[in-house]
Amino acid sequence: MGMYLNPGNAGFQSILKGKYIDKTELIDYVNQTLGTKQKLTCVSRPRRFGKSFAAQMLCAYYDKSCDSKELFQDKRIALKPSYPLHLNQYDVLYLDLTWFISTSAMQMNVVKDLQKAVVKELREFYHSDIDPAECSLPVALASINAKTGAKFILIIDEWDAIFRERREDTALQEEYVQLLRGLFRSSLTDKMIEAAYMTGILPIKKYGNQSALSDFYEFTMVDPSPLEEYFGFTESEVRSLCTESDLDFHEMQYWYDGYILGSHLHVYSPKSVLDALSKKRFGNYWTQTETYESLKTYITMNFDGLKDVILSLLGGMRCAIDTKAFQNDMTTFCSKDDVLTLLVHLGYLTYDLFTECISIPNQEVTEEFLRAMKHADSPELVKLVQQSEELLEATLRMEEETVARILEKIHMENTSPLFYNNEQSLRAVIQLAYISRVKDYLEFQELPGGKGYADIVFFPKKASDKPLLLIELKWNKSSKGAIAQIKDRQYMQAVKEFGGDILLVGINYSAKDQKHSCKIEKYLK
């Protein structure tokens, strides 16, 4: 076994010692592509979504230098007809680009250093089959194939690390792309490559309207089918984990659900779920793996309409975008849609393939947006967060006129005039206005109780001593009427198990004079 050629199955062994969710059926998909024109696969997902786990699993399965039968014999792949045909039958080249970048003495030479190190190891195994002076990886593989007939499975983890970590170094990027083209777009590719599997955060780089590696089949956060279930945890998998650990699935769902991929499959961040299970509490785990500074940079970029879209998303709305012009890097932006598409690939937004709309996926990511806004270089965003904090405090103090005044200000400053007099706009404005609630409250909409559905309920988190807020919205009626409806239809039944204080909040918007009114009462049990 070597560092790059046939590195063995130790990585997958260590994965199996933890809480492992069986994703081995991915192997069957790759098996079907071996030696075909579909043999080049690239999967892009946000950080900590299981990409490297899958790469190490594939390495353990294909690597002919080890015996991995015991690792897979009780897994789902063992039931597939293709399983015994390819188990430990191939020479595997495993390249971790992040590792190469971090260990290269001079990062501008990382592509040359990568090829030099891998060719040196290939020469140790294949001896005289490679010219002693050869430093090109594609040429070395072609030479081995010509003399021995050997074909390789290439696994490249974090293939896009150069585009992310050396984002301004276009010369290095072009050198790297030329290496990939030599491996995967040459007349010798079919002879020397049995299959290739790449992982990354970004899709394959485009130059103009052309992909740098057009022969790859890509599975991204924008178009993941049919591989969506193999990266991240599915809802059924999370339910089972919660049952095993005696953790509330509904709270887990509120915190981490929201990535809806392909055919409406709900996917959760493994990092968030596993940390919540380990710590027995919910919190910000996936977002802690990267500073909010990067998100702040993107949401404050100077593109027309970007701020309005961000505010609409924070208000709980969905927005249509065009993902097709995105150049698949972190520097080339021509419009707000390019920025928002990058945020989809980074995991800060989720994209519905069928409606072509984006939304903020869950509570954890919403809190990250709030943190980024509080420290943003945009006065409008900072002001909104400050107003929201004032609004929440005024509500808790039951200062009705102050609540109405702040709501009116936020409504006027952050809602497009085209949608100002719209019932959905009012609901979105309330959600946006109370955005600071995310620190202390869970939000539920249309909560069934009594003889109907409570419009919005802000339920205090377990660690909070804040009162529960039950909010009823009215359009061209009265805030007193909203309170009356809460009582008449017994919406309090929806929260009857709550043991703390409850505030009933009625909010009305008059389209005629564009005025808000508010009525707040403490519910006496």
pTM of the model: 0.87
Instruction: State yes or no: pLDDT of 418 exceeds 50.
Output: no
Per-residue pLDDT of 241-283, as tens digits, reads 999 999 999 989 989 998 999 878 999 999 999 999 999 999 8
Residue 520: its H or E element: strand 515-522
Mean pLDDT throughout 46-66? Answer: 96
Cα separation, 525 vs 508, in Å, equals 25
> Helices (H) and strands (E) in the chain — how many of each?
22, 18
Per-residue pLDDT of 221-246, as tens digits, reads 999 999 999 999 999 999 999 999 99
pLDDT of residue 210: 67
Per-residue pLDDT of 310-332, as tens digits, reads 888 887 789 999 999 999 989 89
pLDDT band at 127 (very low <50, low <70, confident <90, very high): confident
Residue 92: its H or E element: strand 91-96
Mean pLDDT throughout 350-366? Answer: 93
Instruction: State yes or no: pLDDT of 451 exceeds 80.
Output: yes
Mean pLDDT, the chain, as a whole number?
A: 91
pLDDT of residue 209: 65
Coil/strand/helix, residue 469: strand
Identify whether the C-beta of residue 356 lies closer than 8 Å to the C-beta of residue 301.
no
Q: Could you give the residue ranges of the DSSP H alpha helices within 63-188?
A: 69-72, 83-86, 97-103, 110-126, 137-148, 161-165, 170-184
Q: Which has more confidence, 79 or 435?
A: 79
pLDDT band at 416 (very low <50, low <70, confident <90, very high): low
**Measuring CA to CA, which residue among 264, 230, 261, 257 is closest to residue 344?**
261
Identify whether the C-beta of residue 476 lies closer than 8 Å to the C-beta of residue 449.
no
Instruction: State yes or no: pLDDT of 438 exceeds 70.
Output: yes
How large a percentage of the chain has pLDDT more than 70?
Answer: 97
Per-residue pLDDT of 96-123, as tens digits, reads 999 999 888 777 889 999 999 999 999 9
Per-residue pLDDT of 1-49, as tens digits, reads 789 999 999 999 999 998 899 999 999 999 999 999 999 999 999 999 9
Residue 168 tokens, joined: 């301004």
CATH of span 396-522: 3.40.1350
How large a percentage of the chain has pLDDT more than 90?
Answer: 68
Instruction: State yes or no: pLDDT of 419 exceeds 80.
Output: no
Residue 513 makes CB contacts below 8 A (sequence gap 6+) with none
**Measuring CA to CA, which residue among 453, 397, 408 is closest to residue 433?**
408
Residue type, 376: A
Q: Which fold is adopted by the domain 10-219?
A: Rossmann fold (3.40.50)
Per-residue pLDDT of 474-487, as tens digits, reads 988 999 999 999 99
In sequence order, what DSSP letters do the residues of 167-185 get, joined into one string?
TT-HHHHHHHHHHHHHHHS
Sorted by where each begins, the domain ranges of the chain are 10-219, 226-377, 396-522
Residue type, 453: Y
CA quadruple 276, 278, 279, 280: dihedral sign: positive
pLDDT band at 450 (very low <50, low <70, confident <90, very high): confident
Lowest mean pLDDT among 69-73, 297-301, 303-307, 410-414: 410-414
pLDDT of residue 32: 98
Residue 247 makes CB contacts below 8 A (sequence gap 6+) with 241, 276, 277, 280
Residue 50 tokens, joined: 């299981």
